[in-house]
């Protein structure tokens, strides 16, 4: 009887061990299967999405780098050109568009030009054109620099002193056009065979 009980216990032990081993293998298999499914279903798509976003980010950053490099190159070019401007050119620009009306200087210029072209300056008058009124604050902000440019009306009366006074007048007008300061000739009045001439023109300057 004792032997039969031992055999039964031995059989039960073997079955229990077999079940435990089978259950362990099944558990390990399920765990492996879960990890595999988690990788392909969850992790791999996320990795692919991250990789795709990384490529897009790299492309965007490279594009921004190229844009900023181009902008920097332009700034360096502008800076180089600015430093190449010498004092003589700056002085010429100041004469072309001075910071004030400089009426005294204009009188001297007209007097010299008239004398050089055998004309006499008999009368000269100046009047400033009122600046245009801006319609709204937006246009005022946009035209802030332009509104600093002022117009000065000039009326000249000249008398010819040479033989061919009309030719002398043409030379005087050519000298005005070639002058460093901007002169916009509006009208020229003369009578044939008369040495008297009248010229209306506009010059410009920057207000402070």
**Is there a single domain that holds both residue 35 and residue 121?**
no
> What is the per-residue pLDDT for 187?
93
| pTM of the full structure | 0.51
> What is the per-residue pLDDT for 79?
73
**Is there a single domain that holds both residue 34 and residue 80?**
yes
pLDDT tens for the chain, 208 residues long, are 544 444 554 665 665 556 565 666 667 777 777 777 777 777 667 766 666 666 667 777 788 888 888 878 888 887 777 666 666 665 666 667 788 888 888 999 999 999 998 899 999 999 987 655 545 544 555 456 567 788 899 999 999 876 666 788 889 999 988 888 888 999 999 888 888 899 999 998 887 6
**Is there a single domain that holds both residue 64 and residue 99?**
no
Note down the domain range covering 158: 95-206
Count of structural domains, the chain? 2
62 burial type by CB count under 10 A (0-12 exposed, 13-18 middle, 19+ buried) = exposed
Residue 151's CATH number: 3.30.70.60
The residue from 84, 107, 139 where one domain ends is 84
**Is there a single domain that holds both residue 121 and residue 157?**
yes
> What is the per-residue pLDDT for 202?
92
Does any domain span residue 33?
A: yes
Does any domain span residue 89?
A: no
**Is there a single domain that holds both residue 167 and residue 199?**
yes
Does any domain span residue 35?
A: yes
**Is there a single domain that holds both residue 73 and residue 103?**
no
How far is Cα 21 from Cα 49, in angstroms, rounded to an integer?
41
Distances (CA, A) of 53 to 42, 44, 48, 67, 177: 17, 14, 9, 21, 64
Q: 3-state secondary structure string, the chain?
A: CHHHHHHHHHHHHHHHHHHHHHHHHHHHHHHHHHHHHHHHHHHHHHHHHHHHHHHHHHHHHHHHHHHHHHHHHHHHHHHHHHHHCCHHHHHHHHHHCCCCCCHHHHHHHHHHHHHHCCEEEEEEEEEECCCCCCCCHHHHHHCCCHHHEEEEEEEEEEEECCCCHHHHHHHHHHHHHHCCCCEEEEEEEECCCCCEEEEEEEEEEECC
The residue from 37, 62, 84 where one domain ends is 84
**Is there a single domain that holds both residue 25 and residue 77?**
yes
Locus of tokens 């009887």: 1
> What is the per-residue pLDDT for 155?
95
Distances (CA, A) of 35 to 45, 49, 110, 116: 14, 20, 97, 102
> What is the per-residue pLDDT for 2?
46
Does any domain span residue 157?
A: yes
> What is the per-residue pLDDT for 142?
44
């Amino acid at each position: 009887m004792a032997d039969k009980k031992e055999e039964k216990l031995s059989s039960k032990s073997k079955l229990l061990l077999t079940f435990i081993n089978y259950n362990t293998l099944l558990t390990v298999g399920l765990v492996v299967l879960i990890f595999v499914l988690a990788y392909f279903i969850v992790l791999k798509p996320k990795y692919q999405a991250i990789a795709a976003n990384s490529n897009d980010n790299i492309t965007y950053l490279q594009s921004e780098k190229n844009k900023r490099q181009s902008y920097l190159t332009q700034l360096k070019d502008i800076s180089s050109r600015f430093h190449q401007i010498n004092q003589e050119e700056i002085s010429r620009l100041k004469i072309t568009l001075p910071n004030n009306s400089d009426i005294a200087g204009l009188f001297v210029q007209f007097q010299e030009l008239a004398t050089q072209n055998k004309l006499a300056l008999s009368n000269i008058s100046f009047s400033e054109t009122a600046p245009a009124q801006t319609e709204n604050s937006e246009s005022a902000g946009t035209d802030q620099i332009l509104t600093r440019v002022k117009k000065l009306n000039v009326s000249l009366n000249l008398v010819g002193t040479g033989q061919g006074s009309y030719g002398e007048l043409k030379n005087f007008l050519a000298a005005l056009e070639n002058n460093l300061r901007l002169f916009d000739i509006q009208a020229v009045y003369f009578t044939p065979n008369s040495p008297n001439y009248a010229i209306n023109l506009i010059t410009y300057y920057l207000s402070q």
